[in-house]
Chains A and B, each alone.
Chain A
């Protein structure tokens, strides 16, 4: 089961794309985007679409925070608020998180392994467009559901859509179906792209790059796609089952017919928990590239980092019912999931120590990618610890479904994932566009966004302690929740300002940024061995490597890595 891959001496430049009209015109640009199968273009399209949906979902969040800023507010009707928190969560997970991480993987994995493109370029394009369509479909619900006589209605069942709330009896109209079908389609795209990435990693590595010599970015994306491949079909199964229930009268979750409401929860969280590790693995991947380069040292303990990532992947398949510790499982059941959840915390903690070990003894360049990663370390530490707290079942019995959980996962996803996405953008934007992002705009982004993030989400831990449940559109004035809700809303202003600076930076630097050159950060992995932006065929000559840091070997021929690994 093998096929020899050799350096292609007969390689010729591919002919220019025939896309009609002069190159550079708007028509040709749009046509090239629609028909492209180039992993770099698709990667940027994934990230760009993800950022657009991010603005949309972030605006929804701002609306929620305005409603919750004061008690008994009448800014949003309950139906609207319930749609908004559903759309916010669904968008952020499926239309922001997933596409952006696929975008990074798509762009960088072939470059880092010294390949010309992904294994299946047309499947790659299919994966992007089905995701994009699924996003449009979800938002079409505002217009389309429940019917032509009423105004549109977005899904309002929460992003995890517990049954029997999603049964036809309790969710009339089609709003839930938009959620179901959009996610079903998006899931197909995710699995397709993940298969593509996995095959690319296993089958297209350049000469000499054994699995043990791949960049950690590639390893962690490998774990990520492995989880997608196992977990997303479970979500598809859920969507099929709920659709059968709603339209063919099936009894999967119909409690009147002997169905089980909690079965949905099991099946959903068997997807849902690995899903959140899918989301955070790429954050680890980006951090594992940026931190070594900006500390001027190799990653501390590469083999352990690989082993820890793989362990996290496997263990995360067995922790799902820690989302269900309040449903009345037996003491044994609850204890099992406490144990598995605490177990997954161990390799996660080890990684934090390894990143610190990388920085120790280095010469840390406090530039924007590294600054975002340092904030990631701080915030992910908090997030991980609140996760450990929530793993303790009795603590969970108090704080599950409260604002403490909301605070926890926003610290993971914003404090962890989003901050590393920012780090990755500041780090690889020069590679993709040939220009550096502006430092002063970037610092304004960092400072404002960090302040806003903590202002919004730190107080939510206290709201949890004070008994405030999630997903409530309003609250009474005398419950002690007023102050922290107000502070939480103020944070939104800072976050929005920070993001404005970020968007301004992306646009400004595209034209006016300092020219970057091939390797502006003096880094060591293969993507820096080609031009910025890379040619369509990536490398003039496919590289061959001898160690984990091929460019270090090239720059330090007297002391190459392969002597020490």
Chain B
């Protein structure tokens, strides 16, 4: 299926199913900087080329299965109805004892074989199309490293490091393609990248480099979960893919490359000193400071992100403070311990962190 052309089945499946799902699930909401917040995702509303490519064999197998189901279901109902025992009179004689029929067996073997044959051909072609889709040389490259329970995000060619959010430019159906190639690695256990409207899932496996790609053609913030059980807080290892207009994306890149301004207020300065002195720097890194830890997310541009704790709460002053008071309250079992900060330390460090934008 060529990018941009959608056939009848896709249209039917997509709009009707999505409409039903949207009604049932409360629809979409608008978020401030991420554009449309596409919290409710379903695989029948693909907004990216790979997930569109997945939809074709999906609809085929769904309709085939529906057809088989209806045929067999009605056969079952018919047989139970027509040949039910009608009363004691029916017990006097046994029905004709039929042992089988080679012709019928042949028929209901050959037909499933043919169905399977068609499914195999369609599927094989789809697998190759998606897995071996050629990437333009200037495709954006992202390297995603899974951790228990957050996502480390690198843009190797742009020199950007962030966490839990991937920003990409939107593609268009005609004109300039802007796919993003995502390399998937893991620092500990197996995780899985799944943002249904953008692509099928691919696992992040330690000691192995996997590759997937997305090519969204709508802006907005897409929500995804880690899709391979990875321990205590697997449920809260959330990912956002923020698809932006090219100009907005470029502005974001420029901002990410820029070091945050040095803290101005006395409180923030004190906060930086506290941050550097307390063991925060063992796990976290902040560009331009002594902090270069690798176990926790890079905090250089913390305040540009939408959430804290890999999606466990939206990022605000209050949630930032609450996180520092005790991360175990907000994300029990996560790897950041309660740092036992005093009130003054909390004030200063929050003030400092709020300058990281």
- Give Cα distance in the complex from A388 to B83, angstroms: 30
Q: Which of B94, B148, B225, B311 contacts A296 (CB 8 A)?
A: B94
Please tell me if the beta carbons of A395 and B58 are within 8 angstroms of each other in the complex.
yes
CB-CB nearest in chain B for A371? B80
Please tell me if the beta carbons of B104 and A357 are within 8 angstroms of each other in the complex.
yes
- Give Cα distance in the complex from A364 to B234, angstroms: 50
A472 adjacent to chain B (CB < 8 Å): yes
Given A300-B98, A389-B65: A397 and B54 within 8 A (CB)? yes
Q: Which of B65, B96, B130 contacts A394 (CB 8 A)?
A: B130
Please tell me if the beta carbons of B235 and A472 are within 8 angstroms of each other in the complex.
yes
Given A297-B97, A394-B57: A261 and B207 within 8 A (CB)? yes
Residues of A within 8 A of B119 (CB): 342, 388, 392
Q: Min CB distance, A263 to chain B, in Å?
A: 11
Most chain-B CB neighbours within 10 Å: which of A77, A156, A462, A480?
A480
CB-defined interface of A444-487 with B at 8 Å, one 1/0 digit per residue? 00000000000000000010011111111111101111111000
Please tell me if the beta carbons of A467 and B99 are within 8 angstroms of each other in the complex.
no
Given A394-B200, A401-B227: A261 and B190 within 8 A (CB)? yes
Residues of A within 8 A of B311 (CB): 476
Please tell me if the beta carbons of A366 and B85 are within 8 angstroms of each other in the complex.
yes
- Give Cα distance in the complex from A362 to B90, angstroms: 10
- Give Cα distance in the complex from A302 to B83, angstroms: 21
Please tell me if the beta carbons of B72 and A352 are within 8 angstroms of each other in the complex.
yes
Q: Min CB distance, B200 to chain A, in Å?
A: 3
A150 adjacent to chain B (CB < 8 Å): no
Residues of A within 8 A of B62 (CB): 389
B356 adjacent to chain A (CB < 8 Å): no
A-contacting residues, B319-355, CB 8 Å = 332-333
Please tell me if the beta carbons of A381 and B40 are within 8 angstroms of each other in the complex.
no
Q: Min CB distance, A133 to chain B, in Å?
A: 28
A-contacting residues, B48-105, CB 8 Å = 51, 53-54, 57-58, 61-62, 64-65, 68-69, 72-73, 75-76, 79-80, 83-86, 90-91, 94-101, 104-105
- Give Cα distance in the complex from A301 to B91, angstroms: 24
- Give Cα distance in the complex from A362 to B95, angstroms: 6
Please tell me if the beta carbons of B231 and A165 are within 8 angstroms of each other in the complex.
yes
Please tell me if the beta carbons of B105 and A350 are within 8 angstroms of each other in the complex.
yes
B-contacting residues, A278-323, CB 8 Å = 295-298, 300-304
Please tell me if the beta carbons of A78 and B232 are within 8 angstroms of each other in the complex.
yes
CB-defined interface of B275-315 with A at 8 Å, one 1/0 digit per residue? 00000000000000000000000000000000000010000
Residues of chain B at interface, number, CB under 8 A: 97
- Give Cα distance in the complex from A346 to B111, angstroms: 9
B140 adjacent to chain A (CB < 8 Å): no
Please tell me if the beta carbons of B232 and A394 are within 8 angstroms of each other in the complex.
no
B24 adjacent to chain A (CB < 8 Å): yes
- Give Cα distance in the complex from A240 to B73, angstroms: 46
Q: Min CB distance, B299 to chain A, in Å?
A: 24
Given A326-B192, A401-B201: A473 and B100 within 8 A (CB)? no
Residues of A within 8 A of B148 (CB): 170
Q: Min CB distance, B338 to chain A, in Å?
A: 16
Residues of B within 8 A of A381 (CB): 69, 72-73, 76
Residues of A within 8 A of B207 (CB): 255-256, 258-261
A225 adjacent to chain B (CB < 8 Å): no
Q: Min CB distance, B257 to chain A, in Å?
A: 31
A349 adjacent to chain B (CB < 8 Å): yes
- Contacts A338-B123, A356-B72, A388-B64 given; 7 further ones with Cβ under 8 A? A165-B189, A361-B95, A363-B83, A374-B80, A462-B21, A478-B40, A480-B39
- Which 6 pairs of residues, A with B, have the shortest CB-CB distance? A397-B200, A480-B25, A472-B235, A480-B40, A255-B207, A301-B100
29 contacts between A and B (CB under 8 A): A78-B235, A79-B232, A165-B229, A170-B188, A255-B207, A261-B189, A297-B96, A301-B105, A302-B100, A338-B124, A342-B120, A346-B109, A359-B80, A362-B83, A388-B64, A389-B58, A389-B62, A394-B58, A394-B123, A396-B200, A397-B130, A401-B227, A465-B21, A465-B42, A465-B43, A470-B227, A471-B235, A480-B25, A480-B40
Q: Which residues of A contact B (CB under 8 A)?
A: 77-79, 82, 156, 158, 162, 164-165, 170, 255-256, 258-262, 295-298, 300-304, 326-328, 330-331, 334-335, 338-339, 342-343, 345-346, 349-350, 352-354, 356-357, 359-366, 374, 377-378, 381-382, 385-386, 388-389, 392-402, 462, 465-476, 478-484, 556, 559, 561, 564-565
